[in-house]
Amino acid sequence: MSRTAYIWSTELQTVADQLPANVGRSSMVHGLIHALDLLEDRHHDGARSGAQQNAEQIDADAEVEQDEDEYEDQEREEKPIAAPIPSLSGRATIVSPYERFASETELKRYHDAAYVDYLLGDHSPAAAAAAAESDSDTGASSSSRPRKRMKSDVHGLHYDCPPFPSLSRYATLVAASTLTACDLIANDLTDVAINWDGGRHHAMRNRASGFCYVADAVLGILHLVKTGRSKRRKGRPRVMYLDLDFHYGDGVAQAFLSPTAYPVVIPDGRKPPRPPQVLTLSVHHSAPDFFPPGNKHSKLTEGNTPHPFTLSIPLKSFPSASTYERVWGSIESVRMAFEPDYVVIQLGTDGLPGDRIGQYGNWSIDQPGGIRCCIDRVKSWNLPLCVLGGGGYHHPNTARAWAVATAALIDKELPLQSSIPDHEYFPDYSPSFTFELSQAHVRDENDSQHLEAVNQVFSTISERIGDIVRAHTPKHE
């Protein structure tokens, strides 16, 4: 039986509900999971000494730290006083986000200082009106001159990422929720930590993007690589980030893109460069006008890539569970080659049918290759696991999927034919009032040729990853 932490608080839910792209989603998700009686309503003590807060800040310029020796010279952060999560049968333990992680300092461990300063500013309607007035005074809105580039433009706080009144608290608390999840697994206080309000995988270091304001996954992974331990070997831990959202996980991929170019063939007797601590793998839909704009890293990774630790599996329209099933072997071979000590999975649900933003999805919850199957497989790796949310714009379906995933993580059966329990949002599950989704009657465009190409190239890449990792794995350990 594993220990499972569930990150939640009424305040986290309240601020997450304000996210403009997902207004009210957090309440629906947590409301359903609470109503299913999957949670132990006991808040975990997150107290910790002040040493944590004074820990050395990660150099913001070094998005990926490559030099292992540098790490070994750093003092480890003091262990938390918090008690371990108990092993409970069929329940996860609620943990409130640790307030000490909800700070400007924590955001600046990755984000650009000017962006954080702007993000944490006053976004009340009065402040927005004053800013508009100020722009008007300086002629920014005059049609006779070029429009002045406002700070909101520079930092991406417009279009799909508008500022909103509780943005400042939202940003710090969502970051804190994922940091808490990662802190719990880094300190072996739990085996699994779930944070459905996290997984904002498009946020960039210096700007908001794609409904994402804060790179909580990046912050959590940075915390893991700095404070976690490898149980299996000497040296720093390795983290595998697996992104199953329907959109490419560009923000996280970019944050951990290794500056090292790895040789395709390792010359006899030579040691390849050290593997990075973080590998990112995104399985996502790709099409010319589909967000985010493509780059060379969002295409199918090539076998001879100089970056075999930044991986991408693009899928054509309407990928069904059987398509995910067929590429799972590639995910598995990467995991075996990289030998991670921790896994962070982003489980966006916008690939399910009927999603208003995903649109081209046809994934499922229960079939082989569906969400529950993926969760079961990741769980079978027996590695400390952080499970994050992400996209998902059909809120009842997202709540259904994450409820089933939560149940799977605590070894509880939740057949899709089960009735939705009576609770505040019950009417939103009409007309089925079960966990079953309406399937889309569309053709999965991922043909055998595409899927074979994926598996072939990932077989090559996995071999390369294994060679690099083995070259740096001390023998007899």
List binders of Zn ion among 14-73 (CB under 5 A): none
Show contacts with Zn ion in window 400-429 (CB under 5 A).
Answer: none
| Cβ nearer to Zn ion, comparing 250 with 366 | 250
User: What is the Cα–Cα distance from 412 to 228, expressed in whole angstroms?
Assistant: 29
Residues 222-261, one symbol each (x = binds Zn ion by CB under 5 A, - = not), give: -----------------------xxx--------------
Chain positions 164 to 223 lying near Zn ion, rule: CB under 5 A, are none
**Residue indicated by tokens 């799977």:** 408
Name the catalytic one among 202, 223, 247, 284: 202
Cβ proximity to Zn ion: between 339 and 350 the closer is 350
Q: How far is the CB of 348 from Zn ion (least distance, A)?
A: 4
Stretch of 109-117, 185-193, 217-225, 340-348 contacting Zn ion, by CB under 5 A: 340-348
Q: Which is nearer to Zn ion, 97 or 199 (CB)?
A: 199
Q: Which two tokens stand for residue 5?
A: 């932490």
Token pair belonging to 251? 């923000």
Q: Which residue is nearest to Zn ion (CB)?
A: 391
Nearer to Zn ion, 189 or 215 (CB): 215
- 191 or 350, CB closer to Zn ion? 350
Given the complex with Zn ion, which of 247 and 394 has the nearer CB atom?
247
Phi then psi for residue 338, to 5 deg, are -80, -25
Torsion of CA 468, 472, 476, 477, to 10 degrees: -100
For the bound state, the minimum distance from the C-beta of residue 458 to Zn ion, rounded and expressed in Å, comes to 22
Exposure letters 134-160 (e unless 16+ CB within 10 A, then b): ebeeeeeeeeeeeeeebebeebbbeee
- Cα separation, 123 vs 199, whole angstroms: 23
- Point out which span in 25-33, 115-123, 373-381, 384-392 binds Zn ion (CB under 5 A): 384-392
Compute the distance between CA of residue 175 and CA of residue 219 in angstroms, rounded to an integer: 7
30 is catalytic: no
Applying CB under 5 A, the span of 68-76, 156-164, 249-257, 346-354 interacting with Zn ion comes to 346-354
Q: Closest distance between Zn ion and the C-beta of residue 383, in Å?
A: 25
Minimum CB separation from Zn ion for residue 295, in Å? 17
Q: Name the minimum Å distance from CB 262 to Zn ion.
A: 29
Identity of residue 272:
P
| Minimum CB distance to Zn ion smaller for 118 or for 246 | 246
For the chain, the residue count is: 477
Among residues 105, 252, 79, which one has the least CA distance to residue 176? 105
- Give Cβ neighbours of residue 289 (< 8 Å, ≥ 6 apart): none
Q: Smallest gap, in angstroms, from Cβ of residue 69 to Zn ion? A: 38
From residue 117 to residue 146, the character string flagging contacts with Zn ion as x (rule: CB under 5 A) and all else as - is: ------------------------------
With contacts defined by CB under 5 A, name the span among 89-97, 311-319, 335-343, 388-396 that binds Zn ion.
388-396
- The residue behind tokens 């999975």 is 345
Q: Pick from 391, 396, 401, 437: which binds Zn ion (CB under 5 A)?
A: 391
CB of residue 347 vs Zn ion: minimum separation in angstroms?
11
Least distance (Å) from Zn ion to the CB of residue 392?
8
Angstrom distance (rounded) from CA 57 to CA 49: 17
Q: How many CB atoms lie within 10 A of CB 329?
A: 15
Tell me which of 65, 106, 216, 350 binds Zn ion, using CB under 5 A: 350
**What is the torsional sign of CA 251, 252, 258, 263?**
negative
Footprint on residues 148-167 left by Zn ion (CB under 5 A): none
Beta strands 342-346 and 39-40 are unpaired
Closest C-alpha to 405, from 199, 109, 167: 199
| Helices (H), ranges, 146-259 | 151-154, 167-186, 216-227, 250-255
User: Which of 120, 472, 79 has the alpha carbon at shortest distance from 275?
Assistant: 472
List interacting residues with Zn ion (CB under 5 A).
245-247, 348, 350, 391
Catalytic residues, by residue number, are 202
